[in-house]
Structures are given as C-alpha cells and as structure tokens.
Amino acid sequence: MTLDLLRFTTAGSVDDGKSTLIGRLLYDSKQVFDDQLAHVAEASERRGGEGTLDLALLTDGLRAEREQGITIDVAYRYFATPRRRFIIADCPGHQQYTRNMVTGASTADVSVVLLDARRGVLEQSKRHAFISALLGIPEMVVAVNKMDLVDYSEDRYAELRAEFEGYAEKLDGVKTITYIPLSALNGDNVVTRSAQMPWYDGPVLLDHLENVEVAYDHPGEKPARFPVQWVVRPSNGDGDYRGYAGQLASGALRRGEEIAVVPSGGRSRIAAIDTFDGQLEEASAPMSFTLRLEDELDISRGELICHPDEAPSVGRELRADICWMATDLLRPGGKYLLKHTSRTVTAVIDGLEDLLDTHSLERIEAPTEMGLNDIGRARLRTSAPLAFDPYSSNRRTGSFILIDESTNATVAAGMIAQDASTARAD
C-alpha cells in the first residue's frame, strides 16, 4: 500500500533548476491555476522579454527572490493526482540559506537532489545529499537536470551517475536512490517520457513519486510514543475530568493496556482514549487524542506515555549529530534551551567529538568549535532527564532543536545518535 500523502523536498546547488523543475511538474500535470499562470507569464515577460515563461516563478514568490533570480526560503506547494496527494517543499540551493533547506527537508519522505548535467556533482550537491541522509529521508531521487545542454548524452549521464554513486556509498540511512535524466526547462522525463533520451528506460519523475513506497507507509509499526502536550482539566463543571492530550508520535495504543510514564516513572492502565468524536478502542500514529488513565498520577506536559516493555532510553546525557545554523560559534561549555518532543530543558555542550567534511565525508576529530552550516557530533548534558530514541529509529522522539536564550533564535537541529549515551568519555 502506498501513502495517501507524500511529502517531498528539492535539494541541490544554486541554479541547478529545482524551482524550474517543480514549476514544470505542476505545469505539465495541469495543476497550475489559470490566474497563477497568467501572473507568472506576465512576471516572466517583464523580466525576460516577450514570450518567456519562467516556471520557477511559480514557487519563487518573494520580491527579493524574483529580483535576484534565486530561492531564499522554502516554498510549499500542494498538488494531487488520482494516485496521491503531494506536499512539495521547494528549497533554496544557496549555501547561505542552508538552514531553510534543512527546514524543508526535516518533514520530507523523499528528497529530489538535482545535478546540473554540465556542472556535475558540486560540493553543495553533496552537502544537500548528505543533509537529506542525515535527516533520515529514506528515499532519494537524483535528477540529472539540464540534459538539453549536453545533447541528451547518455555518456554524460552515466558519468555523473557513477560519480554520485561513488559518493553515495558512504551515505548512511538512504534506502534507495533512483536516477532520472531530465530537462526541467523542456519537460523531458518530468511528467512525460522524453523522445530525446530513448536510452533511458527508468520511470519519469512523476511516475516515480506516485509509486515510491516510503517507510512512513506504516507509521503504526513502531513502539508507541505519546508525548503529553497538554492536560485537559475543565474548570467548568466537568470537575473530575483529567485527560492527557497529545499526538501519537509512533505506534498504537489500546484501551485497557498497561502503560508507563517516562521519565517520571509511573504505571497505570488506559481507561479511555477520548476524541471530540467519541471514544476509541485503539488509536495509531499520527492521531491526536486525549488519554485518561485508571490511576491518579501526577503527569504534566513533557512526560511521555509508552508501553512498559518498550520504553525509550531515559537520561541526561546525549550524543547527537548537530546541524549548526547560527553565525555565533558552537563551543564546548555553551548553554542552550533544548526542545525535545513537548519538553524544554537547558542543555550544556559537554564536548565536540567530530566535524564532518561533507565533501569527502571524512570526520575531523575533536574540533574546538562549529560554525554556520557545520555538521558534527556533540555530547550534551541536560538539566532534566529526557525520554528519547535514536533518530534512526524514530524521527519524532530522536530529534531536538537548540534555542539561544539571548536571541531566541533556533540555532541547531539535533539528531540523537544510535549509541546515544553509552560512550561518554569521562
């Protein structure tokens, strides 16, 4: 069974044609409204002269983006075919806006990495492919774009494919990589099969996106994780009601089951699964609902409800991959707010273990600091315990953000490592 709703993101270096590709995909699948198209035609002609149609303007909607001809922040677009609904995040390629690319990629199931057939596999293409893998996006499409500029050459395509395959061997976490030669500008192999590349017999982009199976197809098949967001306690007469509201991050819960509350450690049974539409016998991710328990426990926001035999790790020490997003440097000893599920605590950076060279994929040991757009592994200590899973097994309970309290800026995306707390060096 395939997913009803597929989220995908674009990635790759600046000017490789990401926005043009999304525009082409929407245009050729007849998902552009007449007034949007008229607007884009008019805006294109104003910039490029009569007869130009710049499909990138379908997503590059900000004044500054149009002035500079680049994407600055993620644009979200929605479209549907009879097979599936899609949420597209069209991301910027420019290095300066990497954090916006991470924003778009953090919720994606599929990442479409573009290469410019002339320019090849650039440093930034690799960085984005690496970030996609790090964010746990299981499916990757490598779209070799601008094939029109290399005479639709099979040799050139094979050369780039081999080069990328060499790089991708070292990428952890990506399940499959699908290679597609295309021209976003002319529409070759985007929605319709290209007559220019008879040597290619794989799927065209839209076909692939309609059919690709992602791990999220079965979000219910993991241990149950229910972070409590909010305690429902009416002050208006319904005096006895006490419900724990949240969104099930993974797995399933049933009425009558025994549950554990972590990190605080209580045990009880599920008395009821309440929704506005009535009670449920069973609920699965990603539903939002309210739990009532048989026993009176003191549970507040930030606790997590799970099955006792499948509890997550609980601890105050973490190892995690960090994408650093601030111009201020990250250094050992730095103190931040850490938001993880519905819990916010203070965290101190205990140490930096390594820094990644996204080009060679080599790890530089024991760096003294991390700068803007650096990716590395850090050890953190928190002011209160967290209940967590490795990111590779659970995106929801394995991720966190760091916030700088002096600026309120979100300064890092964090992904908890497999051997999260075991290897602390002290």
Partner 1 sequence: MSVAARPQLSHLRALESEAIHVMREVAAEFERPVLLFSGGKDSIVLLRLAEKAFRPAPFPFPLMHVDTGHNFPEVIEYRDRRVAELGERLIVASVQDSIDAGRVVEETGPRASRNRLQTVTLLDAIAEHGFDAAFGGARRDEERARAKERIMSFRDDFGQWDPKNQRPELWNLYNGRINKGEHVRVFPLSNWTELDVWEYIDAEQLEVPSIYFAHEREVFRRDGMLYAISPFTELIDGEEVFSDTVRYRTVGDMSCTGGVLSKAETLEEVVLEIAATTITERGETRADDRVSEAAMEDRKKAGYF
Ligand X SMILES: Nc1nc2c(ncn2[C@@H]2O[C@H](COP(=O)(O)OP(=O)(O)OP(=O)(O)O)[C@@H](O)[C@H]2O)c(=O)[nH]1
Q: Where are the alpha helices (DSSP H) in 217-259?
A: none
The residue to which tokens 């699948």 are assigned: 29
Nearer to ligand X, 104 or 312 (CB): 104
Give which of partner 1, ligand X, Mg ion, none residue 309 binds (C-beta under 5 to 8 Å, depending on kind): partner 1
- The yes or no reply on residue 34 touching partner 1 (CB under 8 A) is yes
The DSSP call for residue 322 is E
Strands 5-12 and 85-90: parallel
Pairing outcome for strands 258-262 and 267-275: antiparallel
- Biggest CA pair distance of the chain: 75
Supply the DSSP symbol for 366: S
CB 150, min distance to ligand X, A = 10
Length of the chain equals 426
If you search the block for the tokens 């006792």, which residue do you land on? 308
Nearest distance from residue 260's CB to partner 1, in Å? 13
Question: Binding string, 301-340, against partner 1, x = CB under 8 A?
Answer: x-----x-xx--------------x-----------x-xx
Chain positions 176 to 195 lying near ligand X, rule: CB under 6 A, are 183-185
Here's the x/- map for Mg ion, 64-103, by CB under 5 A: it reads as -------x--------------------------------
Structure tokens at 268: 């009880």
Shortest separation between residue 410's beta carbon and partner 1, angstroms: 5
Which x/- pattern over 277-296 shows residues binding partner 1 (rule: CB under 8 A)?
Answer: x------x-xxx--------
Judged by CB under 6 A, the residue of 9, 71, 98, 397 near ligand X is 71
Instruction: Look at residues 4, 58, 9 and name the one whose alpha carbon lies nearest to residue 29.
Output: 58
Task: Encode burial over 384-412: b for 16+ CB neighbours within 10 A, e otherwise.
Answer: ebbbbbbbeebbbbbbbbbbbeeeeebbb
Rule CB under 6 A: choose which of 7, 8, 11, 17 binds ligand X.
17
d(CA 156, CA 144): 10
Task: Look at residue 331 and give the partner it binds from ligand X, Mg ion, partner 1, none, a contact being a CB closer than 5 to 8 Å depending on partner kind.
Answer: none
- Footprint (CB under 6 A) of ligand X, residues 117-176: 145-146, 148-149
Sole window of 123-131, 185-193, 215-223, 263-271 interacting with partner 1 (rule: CB under 8 A): 215-223
Measured CA distances, 219 to 3, 193, 195, 347 (Å): 10, 33, 39, 30
Contact criterion met (CB below 8 Å) for 21 and 102: no
Q: Which does 20 bind (CB under 5 to 8 A by kind): partner 1, ligand X, Mg ion, none?
A: ligand X
- Site residues for Mg ion per CB under 5 A: 18-19, 71
- Site residues for ligand X per CB under 6 A: 14-20, 56, 70-71, 92-94, 145-146, 148-149, 183-185
